[in-house]
Structure 1
Amino acid sequence: MDDHASRFARANRLIDDEPPAVHEAPGAIGRLERLCSALSRALPATGVGVSMLTDDNYGGATIAASGPSSRRLEELQFSLGEGPGIDAFASRRPVLVADLLAHGSSRWPGYAPAAHDQAVRAVFAFPLQVGAARAGAMDVYRDRPGPLSGRALTQAFTFAEVAMDVLVEGQNGAEDGTTTMDLDDVLANRLEVYQAQGMVMVDLGVSIDEAMARIRGHSFASGRYISDVATDIISGRIRLDRDMP
């Protein structure tokens, strides 16, 4: 077995050996949650998150995370519209920030201090891609500054490849009806954000970009996930006006 195949197989064994959560999601989502936990232990890291992203930077959604704090950090990027995972996806290259405040504050003026407030000192983002196809990003969080070792970087790249493989297999299975995975729910959340964005645009008579900025501002100010804010806008429980963030 060559080195690449050996690393890939070892990553999958670590995921297989990771105990499932009490309320683990079915199919691909559950496997990605175990992937996040397994990588968090293997590096070690404070947390790991995986998100799907779109080219327009509007329809992103958190798929899996090693814990609640990592999920909040993933959602923080969508609330602010900036962050390492978004940049890794857009550039198709890893974004490696060994000292978040020193090297991330100018790049992400909103995200860096907010993530620092949640005890993140270093963050490493890896695009989820194969060939020309892109799906999202995997983010690794650490509570102390410093670079990842060469071995840790190799391991993270391998887990990102496994994550993309899980997503591809999951979406292929969903198309032919052979799986019970919950990827449809993730996609539904993305569509709700688009729908809410259109409603705010019409209600306020603003541009599509300004509508998203309003939704993000309310999400960040209220400390809620952007998908939850979108759901409330659609249902009428929240109606943004010109004076609201």
Structure 2
Amino acid sequence: MTDSAHTEAMDPKPAEVDDLCRLFLSSLPVSGVSVAVMTASGVRMTLCSSGVIAARIDELQFELGEGPQSSVVRSGQIVMIPDVASGGHDDWPVLGAALGELAVGAIFCVPIQMGAVTVGVATLYSDRPLTLDHHQQATALAIASAIAGGAVQQAMVSAIDEVAVESAAAPVLRREVHQATGIVLVQLDTTATVAYARLQAYAFANGITVLTVARDVVAGSLSFEETPS
């Protein structure tokens, strides 16, 4: 059985895998992936899963309140467990046991960042022990960076409450957000699209509205100039 056939048998994928997941699957020797975003206020949203096992790994971390996802959100660093069966996960023993029952050999959690803000985590797994070399780690981080804007956009579209608030005062919001976008554009020496995406990422990661972020930028109490990119 080929690697691809073995992977498919372990975690059958839907006919159409979300673009946010597809890049990881096509570029890395993993069996499955899920992409989730989370905010400082505790809001969590799974945007895609490549199959049932990937989805269950994501669900377990949320249900149990433990796992490498939380470490990634706190640290902004990639977390790799190349051999789940060997132990070494004292911080999440229940999840470790559950992963063993799912026949998960290795798991990798990759931060999805926009600038210094960690807006989500891509959780990759292999059905056998696996080590990602430096090139593969760099590839995973590059893909996570590439999908960050799309992940935030997708999450923001689903944030119905925020959309409703913004709709109530659309003219004022547009004016203030446009002004803030212009300020961030100058601070980062970038495009308006990237500047607005940074406003969105900061808002989502901190559990506040884009309008609140825009007002802070305009007032001068928040600057993206000193935020590492």
Q: 3-state DSSP class of the match of 1:134? A: strand
Amino acid aligned to 2:23:
A
* 1:143-198 deviation line (CA, Å, top 9, x unaligned): 11131122211211111111212124446xx5xxxxxxx5337x9xxxxxxxxxxx
1:38 is aligned to 2:13 = no
Deviation at 1:49, TM superposition (A): 0.8
1:91 is aligned to 2:75 = yes
Q: Unaligned stretches of 5+ in structure 2?
A: 1-12, 163-229
Partner of 1:48: 33
The alignment's TM-score, normalised by the length of structure 2, stands at 0.58
* 1:7-64 deviation line (CA, Å, top 9, x unaligned): xxxxxxxxxxxxx955x6xxxxx7xx223133223212110111112335x4322111
**Alpha-carbon distance in structure 2 between the residues aligned to 1:88 and 1:41:** 23
RMSD value, Cα: 2.8
Q: Pick from 151, 162, 165 the counterpart of residue 167 of structure 1.
A: 151
Amino acid aligned to 2:34:
G
Larger Rg: 2
Q: Pick from 41, 49, 52 the counterpart of residue 65 of structure 1.
A: 49
- The answer on whether the counterparts of 1:53 and 1:59 sit within 8 Å (CA) in structure 2 is yes
1:184 is aligned to 2:152 = no
- The answer on whether the counterparts of 1:37 and 1:47 sit within 8 Å (CA) in structure 2 is no
* 1:195-225 deviation line (CA, Å, top 9, x unaligned): xxxxxxxxxxxxxxxxxxxxxxxxxxxxxxx
Identity of aligned residues (%): 31
The alignment's TM-score, normalised by the length of structure 1, stands at 0.54
- The answer on whether the counterparts of 1:86 and 1:137 sit within 8 Å (CA) in structure 2 is no
Structure 1 65/161 Cα, relative in aligned 2: closer, same or farther at 3 Å?
same
Aligned residues: 151
Q: 3-state DSSP class of the match of 1:110? A: helix
Residues 71-150 of structure 1 aligned to structure 2 (within 5 Å): 71-150=55-134
Structure 1 47/151 Cα, relative in aligned 2: closer, same or farther at 3 Å?
same
Structure 1 114/21 Cα, relative in aligned 2: closer, same or farther at 3 Å?
closer
Amino acid aligned to 2:32:
G
**Alpha-carbon distance in structure 1 between the residues aligned to 2:23 and 2:148:** 16
Amino acid aligned to 2:58:
E
- The answer on whether the counterparts of 2:37 and 2:151 sit within 8 Å (CA) in structure 1 is no
- The answer on whether the counterparts of 1:61 and 1:75 sit within 8 Å (CA) in structure 2 is no
- The answer on whether the counterparts of 2:69 and 2:123 sit within 8 Å (CA) in structure 1 is yes
Q: Unaligned stretches of 5+ in structure 1?
A: 1-19, 25-29, 175-181, 188-245
**Alpha-carbon distance in structure 1 between the residues aligned to 2:40 and 2:71:** 11
